[in-house]
Amino acid sequence: MIRIQHIGEFNSIQLDVLRLDEVHPTISGNKWFKLKYNLQEAQNQQKNTLLTFGGAFSNHIYAVAHAGKEFQFQTIGIIRGEELANQWQTNPTLSEAVSLGMKLYFVSRNEYREKEKGTVFQEIYQRNMYVIPEGGTNEHAIKGTMEIITNEHSNYDFIACSVGTGGTISGLSLAAKSHQTILGFSSLKNADFLHQEIERFSHKKNFKLFLSHHFGGYGKVTTELMEFITLFQQKYNVPLDPIYTAKMMLGLTQEIEKGSFAKNSKILAIHTGGLQGVKGMKIALQKKHNETQHEK
């Protein structure tokens, strides 16, 4: 059973966290649920290789590399950014993936955009490969994310989660009870397209998207956000990652302070994991910091 951690009462609103980051030591958070039925499907189709796509710090790439190792699939990752071809050794996510046996192909951002029809993909694609889309979102992933909330959580009025491709929130929307509303916090800027993405999978209108708590956009952070992570860890002993879960939690806190939810509401925030990315993010921030120091 997944742990529910009580955080506190704020403005007469109860806030708890569902610790999906603890479901599996390496296939963590929502990625465990998104991969579950994809792995079954790959086995059913008797594929021996998982092929997928992602960026330099991708939680999805990391999870697929570990899933391949644990469930005996070979793995291939098509990675956004040619420049990483000579730098992956210093990237904790990618070097871990390689050490688990994942074969990486680095492509330009242009080619990555066309990844599913692109040349690299066509060169390496074979019939024995099971292709998982970027971020892992497909119908099998939705089936998995529908299992995140159960009857055990029906006392909550709101379920909050971080949103990337929209797979997780779609599953939550489908699984929610009729009195529950799903709150989705986008970590991307200009994420209006998410409404349509979610409608592809969920016909329900029981979700509300918050598109302005992205703190600069995907992969970007602010000082406020980094300080919030430290504070949240100290106060509640909950580690948050800067790309997804911290943005959701800080965004949610700000909405609670603004009075966006009725008094005596109960909110369950889903900790979708992502903690493997913290190490790489710290290295990237340090590098950026050193560069700006240098320019002074």
Ligand X SMILES: *Cc1c(COP(=O)(O)O)cnc(C)c1O
Residues that bind ligand X (CB under 6 A): 29-31, 59-60, 135, 137, 162-169, 241, 244-245, 272-274
**Least distance to ligand X, CB of residue 48, Å:** 25
- Between 68 and 184, whose beta carbon lies closer to ligand X? 184
- Between 77 and 167, whose beta carbon lies closer to ligand X? 167
**Least distance to ligand X, CB of residue 166, Å:** 5
- Between 92 and 164, whose beta carbon lies closer to ligand X? 164
7 by Cβ neighbours in 10 Å (0-12 / 13-18 / 19+) ranks as: middle
**Least distance to ligand X, CB of residue 43, Å:** 22
- Between 30 and 93, whose beta carbon lies closer to ligand X? 30
**Least distance to ligand X, CB of residue 112, Å:** 17
Cα dihedral 124, 129, 131, 135 in deg (nearest 10): -90
- Between 228 and 289, whose beta carbon lies closer to ligand X? 228
CB 276 within 8 A of CB 58: no
Residue facing ligand X at closest CB distance: 274
Instruction: Give buried/exposed letters for 100-115 (b at 16+ CB in 10 A, else e).
Output: bebebbbbeeebbeeb
**Least distance to ligand X, CB of residue 135, Å:** 4
Q: Say how many Å lie between the first and final Cα of the chain, rounded.
A: 52
Distance, CA of 240 to CA of 190 (rounded, Å): 23
